[in-house]
Structure 1
Amino acid sequence: MQQPKVSVCVVTYNQENYIAECLQSIADQKTSFNYEVIVSDDCSTDNTPEIIKLFSEKYGFIKPVLRSKNVGAGANYFESHRLALGEYVCHCDGDDTFLPDKLQTQADFLDRNPEYSMSVHAAAVIGSGDIIGDSPALPEIASVTDLLKLGTYFIHSSVMYRRSCRHDYPLGFEAVDFYVHLHTAFKGPVHLNKSVLAGYRVHAGGVSSNPIYRDRIEKFYDAAYDLALENGISAALVRTAQIKRHLTFAFSRYFSGDVEGYKKRIKLNADEFQYASLLHKVLYWTRSMPVLMWCIKIARQIKNRKF
């Protein structure tokens, strides 16, 4: 096989119900170039490894990495991307899918626009009519400051980045995708294609929805904001974005039933107070008896109720 122009890194763990559809969607890509697919399984205990083996036997460009020991989602991600050989590198979670022209569309854009570090796109939420990343309010060209203000407004499986723009993370390094995207964007802007080029699956088995990982994920986000400060981004901008993210974490904890975690996350110290919204301040003042949060939760349930 010739040197691949694009590497697709698929990370998976116990996704026997989805991995075949994921890999088939990648194998069915219509491209004018060679591409490789690195499928990194984190020692699944279901039939995921067997399904990956079948696909690697059928398609020579699918390269399985079948771990004999569980290394965790973060290490599995970084180690799989470290193996990529392509000029451009895509990420795909093992339960998401690609539309047939995804790779060609993004590679063509990066070929035409060498100043960009990343290409991302809109994605349809599988099993619903929702689309992520197509809002008119979202910028088609985004800088580091845009990412700080907006957070990750695109799904991880939509990302194609230049391998030359990727930082060399040490073995054992862990972070959330927001950190990596932010770090990459220091080397060039991010382009958002608002066309749907992938399917995104939402379910309870995702890492971000697992309360076991919640503390670590929140710490990784704080590390991303520290990274921005270290690279000279305005402290006011960074801290405002960080405190806004803390409010989001607080809401998530409360809605999942972790009231004590909510009270802890909603707190504001003297330095943080100046960057917090009025809502955040009110919730902080009433944290010992979160009646307002109870009202917000009830209103949210009524809004989402299907009649």
Structure 2
Amino acid sequence: MKVSVAMITYNHEEFIAKAIDSVMMQRTNFDYEIVIGEDCSTDNTRNIVSDYQKKYPDKFRLLLNEKNIGANRNAEQTFGSCTGEYVAVLDGDDYWTSPYKLQKQVDFLDNHPECVICFHNVLMFYKDGSHECHVYCPPGQKEFSTVEDLLEKGNIIPTCSKMYRRGLLDHVPHWICSLKMGDWPVDILHALYGKIGYINEIMGVYVIHQTGMWFGIRQNWEEKNKANIEVYEKFYDLLESKYKRIIKRILHERHVDVAEQYEDMGKLTKAKEFAVRSVTKYFVMSTRSFKLLLRLYVPALYKLLKSLKLEPMTWE
């Protein structure tokens, strides 16, 4: 089997048929299978995917969980059941727009054996109309990225765009399931073994809605930053020393981000906690953290130095 399409779904009755149809429309010169991890939905999702499987029994394999196991474990189980040389990922509430998406990504990976992941651009669609539709990847997105890029820039790869080499997925450690940042940590682990290739073409839609699996974390800045810090701390312990300097600086910046958010909210005790940790835990001091500590602990001195426009950085 050349490609497995891994679909992760839970309570997606409104979206799942469109997602599946976007896979079924693919035009390829190879065979592909569709492996669906259905995580004990409470709506009609299971009946919908079962109907597709009955209609196309040779194309679909269903993993019907008897109880809800959560998005990460469901993904791990679904990936583990894939048999293709490559694994394309599609959440049940997203969909593809190009009938040649799979073919183009397979051709790319076949022609670039140094790449372990291939991805492309997608549109971000907000179902509630709260934001204008926009592209996920910036105009300057590089054709080839590295693990350093994933650490520096964060989650640059939209889930519905990625295609993995399956061999590495077989070795993803189980502790990944405990993290709350989706498949970004999986991408980091892959990038330790090769490059990440990018096709500069919009071939999918990432749908954002209130019942989405990661919506709560994205909307709650505290949870988002906590999950983000957790990932970096895990990789700080795991990765070799040449990456630790990058991670230390990023962890310092993330703690300062959180401290400033708490400061703006008037939660000064929490602000001080994160401000102090940003320096003492990672042994990093920056102009930004120095000014933050002055504001929190000796505000009178901060105001005086700012009025005199002394360094650092003119006290803007």
TM-score norm. by structure 1 comes to 0.80
Instruction: Tell me which structure has the larger Cα radius of gyration.
Output: 2
2:282 is matched with 272
Q: How far apart are the structure 1 equivalents of 2:269 and 2:290?
A: 17
In 2, Cα distance between equivalents of 1:34 and 1:254: 56
Gaps of 5+ in 1: 289-307
State the distance in 1 between where 2:169 and 2:108 align. Answer: 18
How far apart, CA to CA, are the structure 2 residues paired with 1:249 and 1:96? Answer: 31
Query: Which stretch of structure 1 is more off in the superposition, 148-157 or 245-254?
Result: 245-254
Corresponding position of 1:188: 194
Q: Deviations over 1:24-62 (max 9, x none)?
A: 111111111100111101111011111111111222312
State the match for 2:85 in structure 1.
Answer: 87
Partners of 2:256 and 2:278 within 8 A in 1? no
How much has 1:284 moved relative to structure 2? 5.6
Residue 273 of structure 1: CA displacement?
5.4
Match status 1:242 vs 2:251: yes
| Aligned match of 2:313 | none
1:28-177 alignment, distance < 5 Å: 28-60=25-57, 61-99=59-97, 100-126=99-125, 128-136=132-140, 138-169=141-172, 173-174=176-177, 175=179, 176=181, 177=183
After TM superposition, give the deviation of residue 216 of structure 1 in Å. 5.4
Spell out, residue by residue over 1:130-184, the C-alpha distance to the aligned partner (whole angstroms, 9 max, x if none): 0011421x22111111111111112122110111233523557514412110101
Q: Which residue of 2 aligns with 1:226?
A: 237
Q: 2:306 corresponds to which residue?
A: none
Q: Give how far 1:123 is off.
A: 0.5
Deviation at 1:282, TM superposition (A): 4.2
In structure 2, what is the Cα distance between the partners aligned to 1:281 and 1:41? 49
Offset, 1:66: 1.3
Contact 1:42 1:72 in 2 (8 A): yes
1:63 CA displacement: 1.4
Secondary structure, counterpart of 1:201 in structure 2: strand
1:132 corresponds to which letter in structure 2? Answer: Y
Q: Distance in 2 between the 1:262 and 1:55 partners?
A: 51
CA distance in 2 between partners of 1:13 and 1:253 (Å):
34
Greater mean alpha carbon deviation, residues 234-243 or residues 177-186: 234-243
Distance 2:268 2:25 in 1: 48
Farther off after superposition, 257-266 or 98-107: 257-266
| Cα offsets for 1:84-115 (capped at 9, x unmatched) | 10000111111111122111110000011111
Aligned 8 A contact 2:80 2:170 in 1 = no
> In percent, how many aligned pairs have the same letter?
29
Q: Which amino acid aligns with 1:239?
A: K
Q: TM-score, normalised by structure 2?
A: 0.78
Backbone CA RMSD of aligned residues: 3.1
Contact 2:90 2:160 in 1 (8 A): yes
User: What runs of 5+ residues in structure 2 fail to find an aligned partner?
Assistant: 127-131, 298-316
CA distance in 2: counterparts of 1:41 and 1:254, whole angstroms: 42
In the alignment, what sits opposite 1:296? none
Q: Distance in 2 between matches of 1:163 and 1:265?
A: 39
Deviations 1:275-302 (A, max 9, x none): 65x44554565569xxxxxxxxxxxxxx
